[in-house]
């Protein structure tokens, strides 16, 4: 995919403005998809107005004890959320590692963007209550 081609676009989650035009700034392609996945994983079911079916159970699980069982449950919720609500990607791998001492999880999500078969993107995030 050429860097000048725009296949996907969205607005910045914090509504950043372009200083020269006073328009809301946009994000494109890989960044738009990454932000979409992050937003989905941080949203509880019922939080979106008019679409209570969109979200994940990930935030609810973060108050459980950090252990390998909860990590496996979180992995399943992440897979299900991406499969159900992000049709632009194919998940290649998800690792969720429990940090028992800090009661938090590290999640590494690898995926391919369907419009760019050569892409292999990765998101690393820390899940904590």
How many domains, the chain?
A: 1
Domain region containing 86: 9-127
Residue 84 lies in a domain: yes
CB 94 within 8 A of CB 110: yes
Domain with residue 41: its CATH number is 3.10.450.40
Q: Which residues contact 36 (CB under 8 A, 6 or more apart)?
A: 10, 86, 88
* Residue 98 to residue 62: CA distance in whole angstroms: 11
Residue 3 lies in a domain: no
Question: Mean per-residue pLDDT for 46-61?
Answer: 93
* Residue 106 to residue 112: CA distance in whole angstroms: 20
What is the pTM for the complete model shown? 0.87
Residue 4 lies in a domain: no
Residue 90 lies in a domain: yes
Vertex 44 angle, CA 129 and 46, to 5°:
150
Residue 53 lies in a domain: yes
pLDDT at 92 over 60: yes
pLDDT at 18: 86
Banded pLDDT at 6 (limits 50, 70, 90): low
């Amino acid at each position: 995919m050429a860097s000048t081609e725009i296949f996907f676009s969205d607005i910045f989650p914090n509504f950043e403005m372009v200083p020269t035009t006073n328009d809301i700034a946009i994000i494109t392609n890989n960044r738009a998809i990454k932000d979409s996945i992050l937003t989905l994983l941080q949203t509880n079911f019922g939080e979106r107005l008019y679409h209570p079916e969109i979200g994940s159970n990930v935030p609810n699980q973060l108050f459980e004890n950090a252990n390998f069982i909860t990590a496996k449950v979180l992995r399943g919720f992440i897979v299900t959320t991406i499969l159900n609500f992000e049709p632009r990607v194919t998940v290649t791998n998800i690792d969720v590692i429990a940090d028992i001492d800090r009661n938090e999880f590290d999640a590494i999500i690898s995926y391919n963007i369907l419009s760019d078969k050569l892409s292999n993107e990765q998101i690393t995030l820390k899940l904590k209550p």
